[in-house]
Amino acid sequence: MQTSELNYFKEILESRKIQILKNIDGANEELRQLGSCEINDEGDDASINNSSNLERALAFQQQEELNEINQALHKVKSNEYGICDMCNDPISFQRLKVKPHAKYCKECREIVEKDKQ
Protein backbone atom coordinates (compact mmCIF):
# COMPACT_ATOMS: atom_id res chain seq x y z
CA MET A 1 0.00 0.00 0.00
CA GLN A 2 1.28 3.44 -0.90
CA THR A 3 2.11 5.94 1.82
CA SER A 4 -0.62 8.32 0.66
CA GLU A 5 -3.23 5.53 0.91
CA LEU A 6 -1.94 4.51 4.32
CA ASN A 7 -2.19 8.12 5.55
CA TYR A 8 -5.69 8.38 4.11
CA PHE A 9 -6.90 5.36 6.09
CA LYS A 10 -5.00 6.40 9.21
CA GLU A 11 -6.84 9.73 9.22
CA ILE A 12 -10.20 8.00 8.76
CA LEU A 13 -9.46 5.54 11.58
CA GLU A 14 -8.30 8.26 13.97
CA SER A 15 -11.35 10.39 13.21
CA ARG A 16 -13.70 7.46 13.78
CA LYS A 17 -11.87 6.63 17.01
CA ILE A 18 -12.49 10.14 18.34
CA GLN A 19 -16.18 9.91 17.41
CA ILE A 20 -16.58 6.52 19.10
CA LEU A 21 -14.92 7.77 22.29
CA LYS A 22 -17.40 10.67 22.33
CA ASN A 23 -20.28 8.24 21.74
CA ILE A 24 -19.15 5.98 24.58
CA ASP A 25 -18.80 8.95 26.93
CA GLY A 26 -22.29 10.07 25.93
CA ALA A 27 -23.73 6.61 26.55
CA ASN A 28 -22.06 6.43 29.96
CA GLU A 29 -23.46 9.85 30.86
CA GLU A 30 -26.91 8.75 29.73
CA LEU A 31 -26.64 5.65 31.91
CA ARG A 32 -25.63 7.79 34.90
CA GLN A 33 -28.63 10.04 34.34
CA LEU A 34 -30.97 7.09 33.94
CA GLY A 35 -29.64 5.64 37.18
CA SER A 36 -30.49 8.81 39.04
CA CYS A 37 -34.04 9.15 37.67
CA GLU A 38 -36.91 9.10 40.10
CA ILE A 39 -39.10 6.08 39.47
CA ASN A 40 -42.78 6.80 40.07
CA ASP A 41 -44.39 3.62 38.75
CA GLU A 42 -43.82 0.37 36.90
CA GLY A 43 -44.05 2.15 33.55
CA ASP A 44 -41.18 4.45 34.49
CA ASP A 45 -39.17 1.48 35.71
CA ALA A 46 -39.76 -0.45 32.48
CA SER A 47 -38.89 2.58 30.36
CA ILE A 48 -35.68 3.24 32.29
CA ASN A 49 -34.68 -0.44 32.11
CA ASN A 50 -35.34 -0.50 28.38
CA SER A 51 -33.31 2.67 27.81
CA SER A 52 -30.48 1.40 30.00
CA ASN A 53 -30.32 -1.91 28.13
CA LEU A 54 -30.24 -0.10 24.81
CA GLU A 55 -27.47 2.28 25.94
CA ARG A 56 -25.40 -0.65 27.26
CA ALA A 57 -25.83 -2.58 24.00
CA LEU A 58 -24.80 0.44 21.94
CA ALA A 59 -21.80 1.13 24.17
CA PHE A 60 -20.73 -2.52 23.90
CA GLN A 61 -21.00 -2.40 20.10
CA GLN A 62 -19.03 0.85 20.01
CA GLN A 63 -16.35 -0.65 22.27
CA GLU A 64 -15.95 -3.61 19.92
CA GLU A 65 -15.53 -1.27 16.96
CA LEU A 66 -13.04 0.80 18.96
CA ASN A 67 -10.99 -2.34 19.65
CA GLU A 68 -10.95 -3.17 15.92
CA ILE A 69 -9.90 0.40 15.09
CA ASN A 70 -7.07 0.26 17.63
CA GLN A 71 -5.90 -3.01 16.07
CA ALA A 72 -6.01 -1.41 12.62
CA LEU A 73 -4.03 1.62 13.84
CA HIS A 74 -1.45 -0.74 15.33
CA LYS A 75 -1.20 -2.44 11.92
CA VAL A 76 -0.66 0.96 10.29
CA LYS A 77 2.30 1.58 12.62
CA SER A 78 3.76 -1.87 12.01
CA ASN A 79 3.21 -1.58 8.25
CA GLU A 80 0.81 -4.55 8.21
CA TYR A 81 -2.35 -2.57 7.47
CA GLY A 82 -4.58 -3.82 4.67
CA ILE A 83 -3.46 -7.44 4.95
CA CYS A 84 -6.07 -10.14 5.64
CA ASP A 85 -5.65 -11.81 9.04
CA MET A 86 -6.67 -15.17 7.58
CA CYS A 87 -5.05 -15.55 4.16
CA ASN A 88 -2.42 -12.76 4.32
CA ASP A 89 -3.56 -11.41 0.95
CA PRO A 90 -4.16 -7.68 0.52
CA ILE A 91 -7.62 -6.42 1.41
CA SER A 92 -9.08 -4.48 -1.52
CA PHE A 93 -9.00 -0.70 -1.42
CA GLN A 94 -12.77 -0.63 -1.98
CA ARG A 95 -13.39 -2.91 1.03
CA LEU A 96 -11.16 -0.73 3.22
CA LYS A 97 -13.04 2.37 2.05
CA VAL A 98 -16.28 0.77 3.27
CA LYS A 99 -14.78 -0.63 6.48
CA PRO A 100 -11.33 0.85 7.22
CA HIS A 101 -10.86 -1.46 10.23
CA ALA A 102 -11.58 -4.63 8.21
CA LYS A 103 -9.56 -7.61 9.40
CA TYR A 104 -10.42 -9.89 6.49
CA CYS A 105 -10.64 -9.73 2.73
CA LYS A 106 -14.09 -10.24 1.26
CA GLU A 107 -13.64 -13.97 0.67
CA CYS A 108 -12.31 -14.71 4.18
CA ARG A 109 -14.99 -12.52 5.76
CA GLU A 110 -17.63 -14.71 4.11
CA ILE A 111 -15.95 -17.80 5.58
CA VAL A 112 -15.84 -16.25 9.05
CA GLU A 113 -19.51 -15.22 8.81
CA LYS A 114 -20.54 -18.75 7.76
CA ASP A 115 -18.59 -20.23 10.66
CA LYS A 116 -20.43 -17.96 13.12
CA GLN A 117 -23.80 -19.35 12.06
> What is the 8-class DSSP label of residue 102?
-
- Tell me how far CA of residue 78 lies from CA of 28, 69, 72, 103, in angstroms: 33, 14, 10, 15
pLDDT tens digit sequence for 22-66: 998 888 887 777 666 666 666 666 666 677 777 788 888 999 999
pTM: 0.81
* CATH of 1-79 given 3.30.70, 1.10.1060, 1.10.3470, 1.10.287: 1.10.287
Domain ranges for the chain, please list them.
Answer: 1-79, 82-117
